[in-house]
Structure 1
Amino acid sequence: MAKRREVRHAAFLLSFEKMFLDDPLESIFETAEEIDEILVNDEVKNLVENIFAKQEELDEIIAKFSDKRAVSRIPKINLAILRLAIYEALYDEKVPVNVAISEAVTLAQAYALEPDIAFVNGVLGSFSKSLPKEEDNK
């Protein structure tokens, strides 16, 4: 069974790729499976599908906490990271909020530019402070 971090990383890469393509998710999954460089299993597919199913809601949350940039002006790499983190924080009871944020910052450190890391961390920090306290202890 794949580790959660591997699932998250694969879901991030596939979500990011989808932002550039009009292809259906299933087509993106098939291509990734053919190339065989990204983990593609049911857990990854579910996570990506759920992120896109809730994209509008996730983007509204991002907009609320991104006071300096409109969602349309946020670099796609940051947007993919933020959507994933907020989705996990809100909808995956196995992922505590602080873990979702920490993992998002790790992804930003690996893929984003230096100012973007602070941006991602700032948006997610503000988001986490807005959550009811019991959310922090899932």
Structure 2
Amino acid sequence: MTRREAREQAFCLLFQETVSGDPVDDILRAAHEARDLVPDSFTEGLCYGVEEHKEDIDRMIEGNLKGWNIRRVSKVALTLLRLAVYEMCYEKDIPVSVSINEAVELSKAYGGEGDPAYINGVLGSIAKKHCGPEEKK
């Protein structure tokens, strides 16, 4: 599985978490039972990483929404933002530009018409403020 495919799989699983509020463990277990889904370690790492750091990630997102509240962001866009911010700020081996580009590409497939530009703008702002190379944990 390519990283792009793994990232898309992680997005789908995290979207379910965003909608249902269920823990990632339960979602992964249910996906395996219902669809024989066996995510690779990259997919699982993304899912568990977003879950572990969600409060900090959401604060970063909220702080970069100009005139918006995080509750007004679509579930698709919010899930993509969470996934990309996790990668940008916590995954040392993934360049920030790759994380942004992948989120924009996924938003073209899953989001609304204005989502790619919106996601690009929010992630660009977060990258400048929070996710420089020295910021990655």
Structure 2 equivalent of residue 15 of structure 1 = 14
CA gap of 1:115–1:38, structure 2 versus 1, over 3 A, is farther
Match runs of 1:83-94 below 5 Å: 83-94=82-93
SS in 2 for 1:102: helix
8 A Cα contact 2:96 2:131, kept in partner = no
CA distance in 2, matches of 1:24, 1:113: 26
Structure 2 equivalent of residue 123 of structure 1 = 122
SS in 1 for 2:66: coil
Structure 2 equivalent of residue 29 of structure 1 = 28
TM-fit CA distance, 1:126: 1.4
Kindly tell me the number of residue pairs found equivalent between the two proteins: 135
Structure 2 equivalent of residue 74 of structure 1 = 73
SS in 2 for 1:54: helix
SS in 1 for 2:94: coil
Residue 97 of structure 2 aligns with an amino acid whose one-letter code is N
Residue 87 of structure 2 aligns with an amino acid whose one-letter code is E
TM-fit CA distance, 1:42: 3.1
The TM-score normalised by the length of structure 1 is 0.87
Match runs of 1:31-110 below 5 Å: 31-36=30-35, 40-110=39-109
CA distance in 2, matches of 1:90, 1:64: 15
Long gaps (5+) in structure 1: none
Residue 51 of structure 1 aligns with an amino acid whose one-letter code is V
- Structure 1 vs Structure 2 CA RMSD: 2.0
CA distance in 1, matches of 2:36, 2:87: 23
The TM-score normalised by the length of structure 2 is 0.87
Residue 122 of structure 1 aligns with an amino acid whose one-letter code is G
Of stretches 66-75 and 23-32 in structure 1, the one that deviates more from structure 2 is 23-32
CA gap of 1:109–1:132, structure 2 versus 1, over 3 A, is closer
